[in-house]
Amino acid sequence: MTKKEQKNIITKHVIEAVQKNFNVVADFSDDEGHGYFTFSIESEGNEFFFDMSRNDFSIISYKIRGEKLYNEAQQLEKELDEFIENEIAIVRIKEGII
């Protein structure tokens, strides 16, 4: 299996796992081709926007320090990072990706 095929398997798994376990409102898209998937999650009646790197699957919140709900966005960002890290480990073991 090539590195590109491995990355595609991991990407597909991560997106499906996030969709299944979080309330994804705006689905993953990369309309601008900037190397990030943009998506949003609803939590406690608020919509939070994030970018997920295509390279390392890291999460970046759109909220800026000082903005309303910044701390909540940071907490959700941390939850997503930890969740994705665990999902990557699971799919690597399942698919035999080193």
- Give the CA-trace dihedral at 93, 17, 50, 77, to 10 degrees: -70
What's residue 47's pLDDT?
94
* Maximum pairwise Cα distance, the chain: 46
pLDDT (tens digit per residue) in 44-61: 999 999 999 999 999 999
Closest by alpha carbon to 75, among 61, 57, 58? 61
Averaged confidence pLDDT in the chain: 93
